[in-house]
C-alpha cells in the first residue's frame, strides 16, 4: 500500500480512548474523505518509519501532499481539508479500546488536550 495513494491521512494514537474518539469525530465530519490510520497499525508503523521522526508518537498528524503537520500545526490544515477535500470514501473500522478506565478519566482528557496545544511540528515531504 503506497502512502501517497492514501493522502490526506490522519495518523492518531489508536491505543488511547480520547484519541480514538477524536478520530471518530474527524471521520464523521469528513464523511470518510480522509484516511484514518492508527499509530500502531502496520500502515501507521510504515508511515512513521518513512515520513516522520522520533516525535511521531507524541501527537496526531495530518499528512497531505506537501507536508506532515503534527499537533497544533495540524489543526488548520485539518479544518481546511474538511471543507476542501474531494469526495472519496475510505473505511474507518471500529477501534478496539485497549486502554484501562484510567485513560477515560477527566485528567486524561485534560492532559491529552494540553499535549495537543503544546506540541507542534511540521515536516516537509
pLDDT tens-place string over residues 22-46: 889 888 988 888 899 999 999 999 9
Q: In what order do the strands lie in the sheet with 67-71?
A: 35-38, 9-12, 61-63, 67-71, 120-124
User: 51 in helix, strand or coil?
Assistant: coil
CA dist 21 and 111 (Å) reads: 15
pLDDT of residue 11: 93
pLDDT of residue 112: 67
pLDDT of residue 109: 64
| Tens digits of residue pLDDT in 52-87 | 888 888 889 999 888 999 888 998 999 888 887 565
pLDDT of residue 93: 54
- Is residue 14 within 8 A of residue 40, CB to CB? The reply is yes
pLDDT-derived band at 10, boundaries 50, 70, 90:
very high
Give the residue with greater pLDDT, 119 vs 59.
59
User: 35 in helix, strand or coil?
Assistant: strand
pLDDT of residue 85: 57
Listed by start position, the domains of the chain span: 4-124
**Residue % of the chain over a pLDDT of 90:** 20
Range of weakest confidence among 6-10, 34-38, 53-57, 112-116: 112-116
Amino acid at each position: 500500500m503506497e502512502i501517497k495513494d492514501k493522502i490526506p491521512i490522519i495518523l492518531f494514537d489508536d491505543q488511547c480512548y480520547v484519541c480514538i474518539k477524536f478520530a471518530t469525530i474527524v471521520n464523521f465530519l469528513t464523511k470518510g474523505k480522509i484516511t484514518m490510520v492508527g499509530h500502531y497499525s502496520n500502515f501507521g508503523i510504515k508511515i512513521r518509519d518513512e515520513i516522520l521522526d522520533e516525535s511521531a508518537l507524541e501527537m496526531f498528524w495530518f499528512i497531505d501532499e506537501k507536508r506532515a503537520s503534527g499537533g497544533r500545526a495540524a489543526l488548520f490544515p485539518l479544518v481546511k481539508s474538511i471543507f476542501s477535500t474531494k469526495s472519496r470514501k475510505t473505511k474507518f473500522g471500529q477501534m478496539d479500546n485497549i486502554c484501562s478506565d484510567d485513560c477515560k478519566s477527566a485528567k486524561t482528557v485534560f492532559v491529552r488536550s494540553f499535549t495537543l496545544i503544546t506540541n507542534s511540528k511540521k515536516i516537509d515531504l
